[in-house]
Amino acid sequence: MAIQKKHAKARLDKYYYLAKEKGYRARAAFKLIQLNKKYSFLQQSKCLIDLCAAPGSWLQVAAETMPVKSLIVGVDLAPIKPIPRTITFQGDITTDKCRATIRGHLKTWKADTVIHDGAPNVGTAWVQDAFSQNELVLSSLKLATEFLAPQGTFVTKVFRSKDSAKLEWIFKQLFAKVEQTKPPSSRNVSAETFYVCRGFKAPKHLDPRFLDPKHAFAEVEEAAVNNEARVFNPEKKKRKREGYEEGDWTQFSEAAASEFVQTQDPIQMLGSLNRLHFRQEGNGDIALAALDKLPETTEEIRLCCADLKVLGRKEFKMLLRWRLKARERFGFRQKKSSNPAAPSAETTAAGAADDTAAENGIVGEEVAMVEPMDEEMRLQEEIQQMKDQQSKVKRKERRRENERKQKEITRMQMNMTTPSEIGIDAAAPMGGDATFRLKDVEKAGIARQITRGRMHHEVERAKAEEVADEEEEEDEVGDELEAQLDSLYESYQERKEDRDTKARAKRVRKETNPGESDDEFEGFDKAADEGAETDASSDADLIEDNDDDDLETGVEDAALLNDLAPKDGPRQGALSGRAASFFQQDIFRDLEVDNDLDDEAHLDHEADVGRDSGIDDPESSKDDWEEGTQRVTEAKEGRPNINIITAEAMTLAHALATGQVTKQALEDDAFTKFSHRDVDGLPEWFLDDESKHSRQQRPITAEAAAAIKEKFRALNARPIKKVREAKARKTLRAARRLEKLRRKSEGLAEGDGDGMGVFSEKDKAGQIAKLMAKAKKSGAKRKPSVKVVVAGGANKGAGRPRGVKGKYKMVDKRLKKDVRGEKRLAKKMKGKK
C-alpha cells in the first residue's frame, strides 16, 4: 500500500502540476513545447495534423503557438473535447476511413507538420507492445507521406526496441534530417523517445511494402513463440546464430523426463526445453526411476532427450510415442485421440512391461491417485443416467396424457361425451380442482375449434403442446429471469409514468377499461355482426356479480359452456347468442325480462359511450386519433353512428360503399396472424412492445387520408366549448333584452302610461326612444376599468407592477397631496377673482 502511494506521488511530478496550472489537458503538452523549443517547427507551420491527439494537450500547444488562421486537425480513437481553432474527430489512424476524413478536412492543402504521440495499451507484453507502437508509427508515417508538403516535418514517438533502428532507417529514406531526442519532460523510466524528421523528400513513388509492418518488422513477427511449429516443423526453423531470442532470458532449461510423461502439454515442453533428464535429485524420484527402467526408454530415447534443440520431426514423434507408452504403463488416463501419431500396436507392448512397473510400486501408486477420480466420474454418470430416466418417464406420461386428451376430443366430436367432461378430465391430471380447470380448455380454444370442425388442427396443437411441455423444464430458469425482467419492466414503467403524463393517462384508461385495446380498427366483425365480444364481457360482468368466490374461473367457465352450447337459432332481442344461452339457465326461468327496457338501457348506455368517446370534444377526438381506435356507437334514434376517424377505416368504408370489396372478402382478409393472438402468460413489456411495433398495416388511399385530415382540420378549427358557451350566453342576453324592450314598447304604445294619464303620441315616441337608448347603452361595451395601484413597497420603481393586467394608474401619497394642493390653489385663485 505504502509502495503504491509512493509510486502515485512520483508520477505526479512538476509537469503534472505545471500542466494543471497552465490549463493543458495532459502533462504531455510539455514534451511538444520542449521539442518545439529545440526545433521550432510549429511557428513556421500553417497546417498541422495531430495523429493520436486525445485528450488534446498537443493540440492546445499547437493552437497557441502556430500562426493565427492555421489549419489544425486532430484525430484519436477516443473523443476529444472541442479545442478552439482546431478540428477534431474520432477515428483509427490505421484505417482508410481516417485517411479519407483527413483528406476531407484538408481539401487541397498540404500539411507542414505531422505530429504523432500514439500509444497502444502499454503494460501487457513488452515485446508485443513495442511492436504495436511501432506499427502505429508506421501507420502515422504512411499518413504523413500522403499529406506532408515537401520539406515538411514529421515528429513521432517511438518506443526503444530492436526495431527502433529499422524505423530510423526508414525515416532516413524519407527525410533529409532525422534526429532522435528525449525531451526533459519525458520520464527517464519510460522507453519512449522522439524522432524529429525534417525536410520531407516527398518521393513520387513509394513501394507500399516499405511501410508495411510485416516487411518492416519481419523478424519481430517470427519472434512470437510457436512451440507446435518448433516440434512438428523443426526443419524449417531458422537457427539464430546471434544467440537466444529476446525475452528468452533463461539461457538453458531442462526438466525431469517424468514431468514430460505427466504433463498435459507435452508439445509445449518439447518446444521450450533444451533437455529432459533422468537424473535422480536429493531424496530421489520414484516415477523417474521407474521411467528410467522401462524397456521403452531405449538408448535412442535418452539421446533425444539429451538435446531437444537439435531434434527433427521424426525424433519428436518418437518421444511423443514413448511418452504415451509410459503413461499407459503407469495407468494414466489417455485422451482417446490426444495424439494421432500414437500407433495402436503400442498397446500390445503394454502387458510385457507390467511386471517391471509393478515391481517398482509405481502402478499401485498411480492407480491409487486415479481411482477416486474414476469413482467420482462413475457416480456422476449414474446420477446423469437417473436424471435421464426420470425425464423419460415424465415425457412418457405427458405423451400418454395428450393421447388421452385427443381420444376424448374424438369421442366428443362423435357426440359420445360432453364438453364439460373434457374440461374435468383435462384438469384432473394437473391435480387442480377439475371444475375450475375449464380455463385451460378455453385457453387452447379447443371447444371452439371442434364446433367448427377443426379437429386436425387440434391434434397438431396437442402435439405441439407435447413438445412445448418437454421444453418446459429447461424454461424454469428462464421463467425466473422472466419474472425479474417483469418486475424491472414494471418499475421502469412507473418511473416513465412519473415523468410522462400521457403514459399515466394511458395506464389509467387501460385499468378502467381493460377491454379497450391499443390496436387499430379490426374490421366490422366484432361490432357490426353481433357484438359477440362486448356481449361476452357483459356476460362476464353478470357472472361476476353472481359468483364472487372465483371470479376469473367463473367467467372463463361460463364463456366456454355458453360457447359450446348449441344456439337456438338467431339471437333474441338485444341479447347475443351467448347471453341468451346464459339466461336459459334454470335460475332465470321465473324471471320476466323486459326486453324493451333492456333495449332502452342499452341504447342509453351506448349514447353515454358515444358522449364519452368525445365525438364533439376535439380534445378527446384527438386522443382517439393518436390511439388509432375506432368507435362505432348507437345513436338514440337507433341508427348507427359510425364515426370514422382513421384513414384505414375510411378506405375500407369507401371500398365497401362502392362495392369494391364484399363482406365475405372482408371477413377472409380479417383472418390474419393478428386476429387470433394468444397473449396469455406473455410478459407485459413484450405486449407493450408488440402493440407499438407489431401492427397490421392496412392499405389506405390518398383520398381517404386527405378526407380524414380535412375532418380533423375542421374539428380543430372549431372554437372550444367555453368560447361557444360564452357566445351563446351573449346571444341569449341580447335576445332577452330585445324581448323586454318589445314588451315595454308594446305596453307604452297601447297603455295609459302607468295610470298617470293618457300619453300623447309624441310622449310615447319619446319614451320608446329613451328605452332604446338605455338598452343600447346596457348592451354597449363597458369601458375597461383603470386599475389604481399604490406606488411604494413592492411597486416602487419604474415599470408595470407585478400581477397587474390592462390599464393601470400609479398613485402615491405625494401625488395625492400634490393633486389636492393644486385643486386647493385653483379654488383659492378662483375665489380671489
For ligand SAM, which is the closer residue by CB, 56 or 531?
A: 56
**Closest CB 85 distance from ligand SAM, rounded Å:** 15
Asked whether residue 625 is marked as a ligand-binding residue, the answer is no
Per-residue x/- track, 341-380, ligand SAM (CB under 6 A): ----------------------------------------
Helix (H) or strand (E) holding 142: helix 126-147
User: Which string of b and e fits 525-536 if b means at least 16 CB within 10 Å?
Assistant: bebeebbbbebb
Our finding on whether 193 is near ligand SAM (CB under 6 A) is no
Which of residues 194 and 524 has its CB atom nearest to ligand SAM in the complex? 194
Nearer to ligand SAM, 94 or 449 (CB): 94
Q: Please give the Cα distance from 384 to 292 (Å, whole number).
A: 42
Binding to ligand SAM (CB under 6 A) within 80-99 occurs at 92-94
Do residues 82 and 88 lie in contact, with contact meaning Cβ atoms separated by under 8 Å? yes
Is 721 annotated as catalytic?
no
Neighbouring CB atoms inside 10 A of 423's CB total 26
CA 754 to chain centre: 87
Cβ partners under 8 Å of residue 701, min gap 6: 647, 651, 654
Q: What is the 3-state secondary structure (H, E, C) of 101-134?
A: HHHHHHCCCCEEEEEECCCCCCCCCHHHHHHHHH
In the complex, the smallest distance separating the C-beta of residue 80 from ligand SAM, rounded to whole angstroms, is 9
Which of 463, 449, 447, 443 has the alpha carbon at shortest distance from 403?
463
Q: Which stretch binds ligand SAM (CB under 6 A): 70-78, 411-419, 461-469, 683-691?
A: 70-78
CB of 76 to ligand SAM, least distance (A): 4
Least distance to ligand SAM, CB of residue 227, Å: 30
Phi, psi of 217 (to 5 degrees): -115, 40
HEC string of 229-259 equals HHHHCHHHCCCCCCCCCCCCCCCCCEEEHHH
User: Residue from 77, 318, 574, 707 that binds ligand SAM (CB under 6 A)?
Assistant: 77
Determine the Cα angle at 352 with ends 349 and 353, to 5°. Answer: 100
Q: Which of 22, 106, 109, 120 binds ligand SAM (CB under 6 A)?
A: 120
Query: How is residue 487 written as a grid cell?
Result: 418486475
CB-based contact 382:375 (threshold 8 Å): no
Smaller CB distance to ligand SAM: residue 70 or 581?
A: 70
CB of 127 to ligand SAM, least distance (A): 18
Among 49, 71, 99, 117, binds ligand SAM (CB under 6 A): 117
Contacting ligand SAM (CB under 6 A), which of 78, 218, 229, 379? 78
Return the number of other C-beta atoms located less than 10 Å from residue 679's C-beta.
Answer: 9
Joined grid coordinates for residue 389: 430416466
Residue 187 or 507 with smaller CB distance to ligand SAM: 187
Please list every residue from 19 through 58 that binds ligand SAM, using CB under 6 A: 25-26, 28-29, 52-58
Task: Please identify, using beta-carbon distances, which residue of 115 and 170 lies nearer to ligand SAM.
Answer: 115
Distance CA 429, CA 553 (A): 18
Point out the catalytic residue in the list 31, 142, 157, 405: 157
Name the strand (E) or helix (H) holding 621. helix 618-627
| Nearest distance, CB of residue 221 and ligand SAM, angstroms | 19
Q: What is the dihedral of CA 750, 755, 760, 763, to 10 degrees?
A: -90
Residue 243 is assigned to a ligand binding site: no
d(CA 258, CA 332): 13
Angle at the Cα of 123 from the Cα atoms of 117 and 126, rounded to 5 degrees? 90
92: annotated binding-site residue? yes
Q: Based on CB atoms, which residue is closest to ligand SAM, 122 or 485?
A: 122
529 is in an annotated binding site: no
| Alpha helices (H) along 243-350 | 257-262, 266-272, 286-293, 299-306, 313-330, 346-350
Q: Which is nearer to ligand SAM, 32 or 319 (CB)?
A: 32
Residue 527 in grid coordinates: 361490432
Among 33, 73, 83, 136, binds ligand SAM (CB under 6 A): 136
The count of residues in the chain is: 833
What is the C-alpha separation between 103 and 49, in angstroms, rounded? 11
CB closer to ligand SAM, 92 vs 552 = 92
d(CA 112, CA 457) in angstroms, rounded, equals 78
DSSP bridge partners of 419: none
Q: For residue 62, give the nearest of 25, 89, 95 by alpha carbon.
A: 25
Are the beta carbons of 293 and 363 closer than 8 angstroms?
no
Chosen residue from 87, 119, 459, 485 binding ligand SAM by CB under 6 A = 119
In this chain, which stretch among 111-119, 230-238, 244-252, 491-499 interacts with ligand SAM, using CB under 6 A? 111-119
Rounded least distance, CB 27 to ligand SAM, Å: 9
**Nearest approach, Cβ of 50 to ligand SAM (angstroms)?**
7
Question: 58 labelled as ligand-binding?
Answer: yes
Q: How far is the CB of 103 from ligand SAM (least distance, A)?
A: 16
Count of residues touching ligand SAM (by CB under 6 A): 22
Measured CA to CA, the distance from residue 340 to residue 234 in angstroms comes to 19
771 in Cβ contact with 744 (< 8 Å):
yes
Q: Interacting stretch for ligand SAM, rule CB under 6 A, among 114-122, 649-657, 697-705, 818-826? A: 114-122
| Nearer to ligand SAM (CB atom), residue 53 or residue 294 | 53
Q: 119 or 462: whose CB is closer to ligand SAM?
A: 119
Q: How far is the CB of 8 from ligand SAM (least distance, A)?
A: 19
Q: Which of 41, 62, 71, 76 binds ligand SAM (CB under 6 A)?
A: 76
Identify the sign of the CA torsion 315, 320, 324, 330.
positive
Q: Residue 705 CB, nearest distance to ligand SAM (Å)?
A: 50
**Residue reference for cell 504523432:** 116
Residue pair 525/670 in contact by the 8 Å Cβ criterion: yes
* Cα distances (angstroms) measured from residue 667 to each of 112, 525, 528, 663, 671: 75, 7, 12, 6, 7
Annotated binding site for S-adenosyl-L-methionine: 56, 58, 76, 92, 117
Residues that bind ligand SAM (CB under 6 A): 25-26, 28-29, 52-58, 76-78, 92-94, 117-120, 136
Annotated binding site: 56, 58, 76, 92, 117
Instruction: Please identify every residue annotated as catalytic.
Output: 157
